[in-house]
């Protein structure tokens, strides 16, 4: 690894620690990293929109025209219409002409809503209802290999899925009071929903921990590179940078502890 | 008229897209592809609104000297740097020293222009004006005379600019990844403080969560059965619950889309 | 009982510190967590294994750096599996920062593919992966639902050029490849609601085989689609990625991170148990005080 790449890696670890310092309290290092990433992300998105969006979808199509004629002599002059409609969206910032921005927005909303109706009805409702009303495997009601309550394809499991899903759908029907038999089914429904939410929570814990695990892996990788004497480009600078960052972080931690102690002793 | 025409547009395009799904005729397919193509172009311009908004807010913050204004310089410089990297690329073996001089000069020019807007004293204004002019002229001269790199506006060479990639790999990725990794600690704190088996429902949630969290733990007794039970929980009761939610969401989406097309739901138009 | 109540009032920063110490210690400790592979992950691996050389798999890298911890290992394991089996790949990125993630993964994977490796007892010679022949990266366009529908008609409709600006018609791999019909399957690796669009607008309208790589947060919500046959496999979170690495015999960051997961989960379970013991203890004390 080159030394310049290691310096950038060190910067990556530095900003990681800047963000993690928020766990202690809000501080200038966290704000620094936060504002940098907002600007850099926005700049990145501008470039992606330009190179992957505007250039291939608009400018390349108008390329046989001349910019000083406003591309009106292009063979695909019809693409000026969505460009103009897109520019009209920017009138949103004007107090007098903001009403113009509703036209292209209306086009987009109409198209999206129209697309959604048949597709969502088919895929979220029809196919799920169809799957819910699947034929119960009575022959293997308690399991395919003998008695096995944990067999997910057994008739019993299919029955639980069907009854559980129906009960949960009944729970979501709030136009009728949840009393009597209806209320009992709704109660079963909320029990099933709670199991689903518990499963989601279990996965969520894993998801969150893995986010921190990745930062640990990158930090340890940085440490390994700092001491990797097998690297053809290795020299003392790697160690200097490594210890420089460690001492800087340790120094800031000591400064915070001392400031905290002084504040406590002055209040008592 | 300012609201009627947009509502009519929503209705026309919405109804067309619904019926187009069921009409396989060539003309219908042609119109469908035409609209899909156009809507992406319109959408690209719309997304630029967000970028402009960020720029405006940062500039206003600096001008009015609000709290945290000094960090807005970082936002603007970061925005400029990525845009500059994305539109430039080396023409030879490397970007060269002149490229970094140009980057520094342009960043200094941006900071000087922002300070020019922010200060009220005429002497300071004159000074920052001079600084911004000198840095701008120097940047233009470096851009004209340095051959090691060039601007690429209509071809995507900038996407392979080493600095563009470096900033993505070592600035954006670590910061964004770490921001979300804070959630690991918040969930631990929440589990400690708030996750209580207060009633039957909370107990069910807790038991399901504990079962799923233990599924890959080899140290607990009966680890294999815990893993199987967890798999059964995911594929049976969890599936039932999520299926009901998915059906509910689907019906909600269809109902909302119908309300939007028929003009019953009007919130998206805003006021006026 | 008062000890529990004092613990309940503990500053949350001590909880954070304990979690950091446990995570760092478990990462330094040298042991491997045995991975049990679930059927929903095995189905994806088996599907790719069954594809003949030259078939095309579409992989949608629809995630941002926020989700890279769980989804990047999946991408690495699966793409290397495809390329080792000489299956071609079309990449697209429908999330805002997805192109950068995909670009980084492609750079790393093309370097890795140059090395000779052995997976599951089979030796694979290192080879050069060529853009345009072994893979094509379409890039990003906004409004993913519209793009997914457009790709179903013709890839050239939303993507006249690839990410690097080359017209699709001049890319050798894309000759004769019009839309999803020429792809063996689509695998969506996503951290957000783009997955819903792939299921409803993609698989629902065009009927191609679809598999998902999801973050842990989302995984539980997509089991209904697995049950109804709309998707044929799900890799859920870091565990899903570790299971795929286990099947592909390609240990990476996912398997490496599972030991941290194991001990962090144990600590969080301990927190939950402690919290509940303290809660019940204080409830009992209040009841007794109420009676007294």
Residue C18 lies in a domain: yes
Residue C130 lies in a domain: yes
Nearest chain C alpha carbon to A123: C200
Tell me the three state secondary structure of residue C136. strand
**Which of C24, C31, C65 best tests the B interface by mutation, with the highest count of B CBs <10 A?**
C65
**Record: contact B250-A41, CB cut-off 8 A:** no
Tell me the three state secondary structure of residue C214. strand
Residue C142 lies in a domain: yes
pLDDT at A146 over 80: yes
Please state the rounded mean pLDDT for residues A18-37: 93
Q: Are residues C157 and C227 in the same domain?
A: yes
pLDDT at A195 over 70: yes
At residue C2, the pLDDT reads 66
Nearest-by-Cβ selection for C13 from A24, A122, A214: A24
Burial of C106 (0-12, 13-18, 19+ CB in 10 A): buried
Nearest-by-Cβ selection for C142 from B36, B44, B238: B44
Q: Are residues C141 and C10 in the same domain?
A: no
**Record: contact C220-A55, CB cut-off 8 A:** no
Tell me the three state secondary structure of residue C166. coil
Angle at B11 between CA B10 and CA B15, to 5 degrees: 115
pLDDT at C7 over 80: no
One pLDDT digit (tens) per residue for chain B, 272 residues: 778 899 999 999 999 999 999 998 888 888 888 888 888 888 888 888 888 889 989 998 988 888 888 899 999 999 999 999 999 999 988 888 999 999 999 999 999 999 998 888 889 999 999 999 999 999 999 999 998 999 999 889 999 999 999 999 999 999 999 999 999 899 888 888 888 888 999 999 999 999 999 988 888 888 889 999 999 999 999 999 999 999 999 999 999 999 999 999 888 777 65
Residue C34 lies in a domain: no
For residue A130, list chain C residues with Cβ-Cβ distance below 8 A.
228
For residue B39, list chain C residues with Cβ-Cβ distance below 8 A.
143, 146
Residue C234 lies in a domain: yes
Q: Are residues C107 and C237 in the same domain?
A: yes
Residues in Cβ contact with A45 at an 8 Å cutoff, skipping those fewer than 6 apart: B47, B51, C96
Q: Are residues C12 and C112 in the same domain?
A: no
Residue C274 lies in a domain: yes
Q: Are residues C278 and C165 in the same domain?
A: no
Nearest-by-Cβ selection for C12 from B160, B189, B245: B189
**Which of B216, B227, B235, B246 best tests the C interface by mutation, with the highest count of C CBs <10 A?**
B216
**Record: contact C145-A115, CB cut-off 8 A:** yes
Structural domain that includes position C78: 39-251
The answer to whether A92 contacts chain C (CB < 8 Å) is no
**Which of B21, B192, B231 best tests the C interface by mutation, with the highest count of C CBs <10 A?**
B192
Q: Are residues C84 and C228 in the same domain?
A: yes
pLDDT band at C291 (very low <50, low <70, confident <90, very high): low
* Min distance A266 CA to chain B CA atoms (Å): 28
* More confidently predicted of B116 and A66: B116
Q: What is the DSSP string of A162-175?
A: HHHHHHHHHHT--S
**Secondary structure letter of residue C167 according to DSSP:** B
Radius of gyration of chain C (CA): 23
**Record: contact A168-B240, CB cut-off 8 A:** yes
Nearest chain C alpha carbon to A23: C13
* Min distance C290 CA to chain A CA atoms (Å): 32
Residues 38-77 of A with CB under 8 A from C: 41, 44-45, 48-49, 51-53, 55-57, 60-61
**How many other CB atoms are there within 10 angstroms of residue C27's CB atom?**
18
For residue C214, list chain A residues with Cβ-Cβ distance below 8 A.
none
Interface size, chain B vs chain C, as Cβ–Cβ contacts under 8 Å:
152
Q: Are residues C85 and C202 in the same domain?
A: yes
**Record: contact A123-C96, CB cut-off 8 A:** no
Q: Are residues C272 and C158 in the same domain?
A: no
CB A20 within 8 A of CB B178: yes
For residue B194, list chain C residues with Cβ-Cβ distance below 8 A.
275
Domain count, chain C: 2
Alpha carbons A32 and A38: distance in angstroms, whole number: 10
At residue A64, the pLDDT reads 80
For residue C265, list chain A residues with Cβ-Cβ distance below 8 A.
205-206, 209
For residue B172, list chain A residues with Cβ-Cβ distance below 8 A.
37, 40-41, 44
Residues in Cβ contact with C221 at an 8 Å cutoff, skipping those fewer than 6 apart: A200, B242, B245, B246
CB B232 within 8 A of CB A157: yes
Nearest-by-Cβ selection for B241 from A43, A50, A196: A196
Q: Are residues C210 and C264 in the same domain?
A: no
Nearest chain B alpha carbon to C238: B216
Nearest-by-Cβ selection for A23 from B167, B185, B256: B185
Nearest-by-Cβ selection for B239 from C164, C223, C276: C223
Residue C33 lies in a domain: no
Give me the CATH number covering residue C77: 3.40.50
% pLDDT > 90, chain A? 60
pLDDT at A58 over 70: yes
At residue B120, the pLDDT reads 85
**Record: contact C279-B196, CB cut-off 8 A:** yes
Q: Are residues C74 and C182 in the same domain?
A: yes
pLDDT band at C13 (very low <50, low <70, confident <90, very high): confident
CB B152 within 8 A of CB B158: yes
- Tens digits of residue pLDDT in C181-194: 999 999 999 998 99
Q: Which two tokens stand for residue B268?
A: 């998206």
Residue C279 lies in a domain: yes
CB C134 within 8 A of CB C89: yes
Q: Are residues C168 and C286 in the same domain?
A: no
What residue ranges do the domains of chain B occupy? 1-64, 67-185, 186-269
pLDDT band at A95 (very low <50, low <70, confident <90, very high): confident
Alpha carbon separation from B178 to A209, A216, B173, B216, C241 (Å, rounded): 11, 10, 8, 25, 20
């Amino acid at each position: 690894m080159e030394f310049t790449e290691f310096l950038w890696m060190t910067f990556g670890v530095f900003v990681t620690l800047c963000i993690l310092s928020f766990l202690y309290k809000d501080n200038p290092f966290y704000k620094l990293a936060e504002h940098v990433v907002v600007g850099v992300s926005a700049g990145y998105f501008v470039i992606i929109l330009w190179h992957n969006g505007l250039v291939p979808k608009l400018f390349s199509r108008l390329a046989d025209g001349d910019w000083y004629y406003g591309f009106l002599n292009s063979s695909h002059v019809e693409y000026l219409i969505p460009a103009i409609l897109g520019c009209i969206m920017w009138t949103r910032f004007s107090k007098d002409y903001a009403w113009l921005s509703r036209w292209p927005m209306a086009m987009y909303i109409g198209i999206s809503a129209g697309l959604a109706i048949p597709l969502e009805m088919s895929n979220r409702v029809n196919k799920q209802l169809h799957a819910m009303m699947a034929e119960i495997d009575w022959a293997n009601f308690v399991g395919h290999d003998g008695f096995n309550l944990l067999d997910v394809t057994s008739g019993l499991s299919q029955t639980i899925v069907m009854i559980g899903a129906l009960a949960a759908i009944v729970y979501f029907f709030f136009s009728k009071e949840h009393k009597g038999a209806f209320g009992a089914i709704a109660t079963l429904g909320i029990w099933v929903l709670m199991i689903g939410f518990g499963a989601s929570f279990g996965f969520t814990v894993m998801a969150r921990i893995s986010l921190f695990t990745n930062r640990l892996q990158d930090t340890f990788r940085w440490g390994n590179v700092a001491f990797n004497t097998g690297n053809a480009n290795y020299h003392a600078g790697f160690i200097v940078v490594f210890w420089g960052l460690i001492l800087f972080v340790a120094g800031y931690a000591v400064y915070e502890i001392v400031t905290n102690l002084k504040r406590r002793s002055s209040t008592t | 008229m300012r609201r009627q025409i947009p509502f009519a547009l929503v209705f026309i395009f919405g109804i067309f897209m619904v019926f187009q799904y069921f009409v396989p005729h060539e003309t219908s397919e042609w119109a469908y592809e035409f609209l899909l193509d156009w809507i992406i172009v319109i959408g690209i311009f719309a997304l630029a609104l967000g970028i402009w908004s960020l720029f405006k807010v940062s500039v206003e913050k600096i001008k009015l000297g609000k709290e945290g204004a000094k960090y807005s310089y970082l936002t603007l410089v970061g925005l400029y740097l990525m845009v500059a990297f994305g539109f430039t690329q080396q023409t030879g073996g490397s970007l060269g020293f002149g490229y970094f001089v140009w980057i520094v000069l342009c960043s200094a020019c941006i900071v000087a222009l922002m300070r020019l807007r922010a200060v009220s004293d005429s002497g300071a204004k004159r000074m920052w004006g001079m600084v911004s002019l000198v840095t701008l002229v120097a940047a233009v001269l470096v851009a004209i005379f340095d051959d090691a790199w060039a601007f690429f506006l209509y071809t995507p060479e900038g996407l392979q600019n080493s600095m563009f990639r470096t900033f993505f790999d070592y600035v954006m990725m670590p910061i964004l990844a770490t921001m979300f990794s804070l959630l690991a600690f918040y969930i631990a704190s929440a589990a400690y403080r708030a996750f209580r088996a207060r009633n039957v429902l909370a107990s069910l949630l807790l038991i399901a969560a504990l079962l799923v969290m233990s599924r890959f733990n080899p140290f607990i007794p009966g680890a294999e059965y815990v893993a199987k039970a967890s798999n059964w929980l995911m594929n049976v009761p969890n599936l039932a619950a999520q299926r009901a939610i998915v059906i509910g969401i689907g019906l909600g989406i269809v109902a909302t889309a119908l309300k939007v097309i028929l003009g019953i739901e009007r919130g998206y138009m805003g006021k006026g | 009982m008062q000890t529990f109540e004092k613990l309940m009032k503990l500053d949350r920063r001590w909880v954070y510190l304990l979690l950091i110490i446990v995570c760092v210690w478990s990462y330094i400790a040298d042991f491997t967590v045995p991975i049990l592979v679930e059927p929903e992950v095995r189905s994806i691996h088996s599907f790719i294994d069954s594809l003949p050389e030259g078939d095309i798999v579409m992989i949608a890298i629809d995630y941002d750096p926020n989700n890279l911890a769980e989804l990047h290992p999946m991408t690495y394991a699966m793409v290397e599996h495809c390329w080792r089996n000489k299956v071609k790949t079309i990449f697209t990125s429908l999330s805002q920062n997805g192109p950068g993630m995909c670009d980084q993964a492609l750079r790393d994977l093309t370097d890795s593919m140059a090395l000779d490796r052995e997976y599951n007892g089979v030796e694979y010679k290192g080879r050069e992966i060529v853009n345009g022949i072994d893979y094509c990266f379409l890039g990003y366009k906004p409004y993913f639902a519209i793009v997914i529908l457009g790709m179903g008609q013709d890839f050239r409709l939303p993507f006249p050029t690839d990410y690097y600006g080359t017209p699709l018609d001049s890319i050798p791999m894309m000759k004769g490849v019009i839309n999803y019909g020429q792809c063996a399957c689509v695998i969506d690796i996503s951290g957000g609601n783009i997955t819903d669009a792939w299921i409803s607008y993609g698989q629902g309208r065009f009927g191609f085989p679809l598999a998902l790589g999801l973050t842990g947060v989302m995984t539980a919500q997509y089991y209904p689609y697995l049950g109804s046959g709309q998707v044929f496999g799900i890799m859920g979170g870091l565990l899903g990625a570790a299971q795929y690495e286990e099947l592909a015999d390609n240990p990476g960051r996912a398997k490496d991170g599972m030991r941290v997961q194991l001990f962090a989960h144990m600590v969080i379970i301990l927190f939950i148990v402690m919290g509940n013991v303290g809660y019940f203890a204080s409830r009992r004390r209040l009841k007794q005080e109420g009676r007294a």
